[in-house]
């Protein structure tokens, strides 16, 4: 069993829990994060009653043995994390749309796109100031200047900005300028980076690795949560399989599976997954129908001249049509869920 202590619990609270565990003939192991304390109980041969521990002062909850991610795990159907961002709420119904270019290429390009994203009804502006690329010869982003351009776009449109940190060195820099810090698929297993992200006071947008399982993703989220940052957004962005008809295989089956397993909001990125503009809208619609709390979409006013992933970027007019459709689908999906309950 894992016993999760409340934030601000005292040494006396911890000693009381340890004493109860030892009184049962079991062994307590204290796992101390910078902002979260967990007591792992070993030696049990029969299931323990969580209520025996949850009634103690300072205890948040007790998770039966086998719970590898106690902080990320959903404890009840009503247990859902909701995150306020830009005057909207992520989680709890509806759909939150993050949209923008794959990369910040210039001030003119980004500001032009930002205004079109705003007009289309999206809720946040995404754009890469730092770009991790498979080839060292491809455009790597504008770095700090890209962050400053994103900040100017936020001033002009009021949209919160989402952008990726590509390593520990860029993490604080991105957090200083962005409203949401993205950790991409390549860094999902960068545990030191995840720990540092857990000490930030910003939402963390965590993308699933290209070969990661559901448990792998939630364990990565657990690193962030265990450091005290409870604002984590999960994102399915496609996995590598033998498929040749799309850039990656978009695993939409993970959406309802994640919603059952965790209280954290779930997003889907159909742009990176499919790699083709005409496939983005159908998969975005399917993602919301499957229960996703939001989507991340690429949009560019002139994708034929884009420096990064233009083939998968929607045109602004396409984005406007899609946002309206996604709102309708989310309303229907929410109605059906409430009817089942």
Q: Which tokens sit at 264?
A: 């954290």
Average pLDDT of the chain is 91
pLDDT score of 341 more than 70: no
Q: For the segment 22-45, what is each residue's pLDDT rounded down to a tens digit?
A: 999 999 999 887 677 889 888 877
The C-alpha atoms of residue 45 and residue 166 are separated, in whole angstroms, by 45
Residues of the chain with CATH 3.30.70.1140: 2-63
pLDDT score of 295 more than 90: yes
Per-position DSSP letters for 105-134, written without gaps between them = --HHHHHHHHHHHHHHT-SEEE-BSS---S
For the domain made up of 83-340, give the CATH fold.
Answer: TIM Barrel (3.20.20)
| 2-63 carries CATH number 3.30.70.1140 | yes
pLDDT band at 340 (very low <50, low <70, confident <90, very high): very low
- The three-point CA angle 54-74-50 to 5° equals 25
């Amino acid at each position: 069993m894992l016993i999760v202590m409340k934030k601000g619990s005292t040494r006396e609270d911890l000693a009381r829990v340890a004493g109860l565990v030892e009184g049962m003939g079991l062994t307590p192991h204290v796992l101390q994060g910078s902002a979260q304390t967990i007591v792992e109980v070993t030696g049990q041969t029969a299931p323990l009653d969580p209520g025996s521990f949850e009634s103690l002062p300072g205890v948040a909850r007790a998770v039966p043995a086998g719970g590898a991610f106690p902080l990320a795990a959903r404890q009840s159907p009503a247990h859902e994390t909701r995150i306020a961002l830009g005057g909207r709420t992520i989680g709890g119904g509806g759909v939150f749309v993050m949209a923008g270019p794959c990369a910040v290429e210039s001030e003119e390009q980004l500001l032009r796109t930002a205004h079109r994203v705003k007009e289309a009804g999206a809720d946040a502006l995404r754009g890469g100031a730092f770009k991790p690329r498979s080839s060292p010869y491809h455009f790597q982003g504008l770095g700090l200047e890209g962050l400053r351009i994103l900040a100017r776009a936020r001033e002009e449109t009021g949209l919160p900005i989402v952008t990726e940190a590509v390593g520990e060195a860029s993490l604080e820099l991105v957090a200083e300028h962005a409203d949401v810090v993205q950790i991409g698929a390549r860094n999902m297993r960068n545990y030191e980076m995840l720990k540092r992200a857990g000490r930030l006071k910003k939402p963390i947008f965590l993308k699933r690795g290209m070969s990661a399982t559901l448990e792998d993703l939630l364990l990565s989220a657990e690193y962030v949560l265990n450091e005290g940052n409870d604002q984590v957004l999960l994102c399915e962005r496609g996995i590598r399989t033998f498929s040749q008809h799309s850039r990656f295989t978009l695993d939409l089956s993970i959406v309802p599976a994640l919603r059952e397993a965790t209280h954290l909001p779930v997003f889907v990125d159909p742009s990176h997954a499919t790699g083709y503009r005409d496939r983005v809208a159908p998969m975005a619609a399917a993602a919301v129908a499957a229960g996703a709390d939001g989507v991340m979409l690429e949009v560019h006013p002139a994708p034929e001249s884009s420096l990064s992933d233009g083939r998968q970027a929607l045109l602004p007019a396409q984005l406007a049509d899609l946002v309206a459709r996604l709102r309708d689908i989310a309303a229907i999906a929410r109605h059906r869920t409430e009817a089942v309950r």
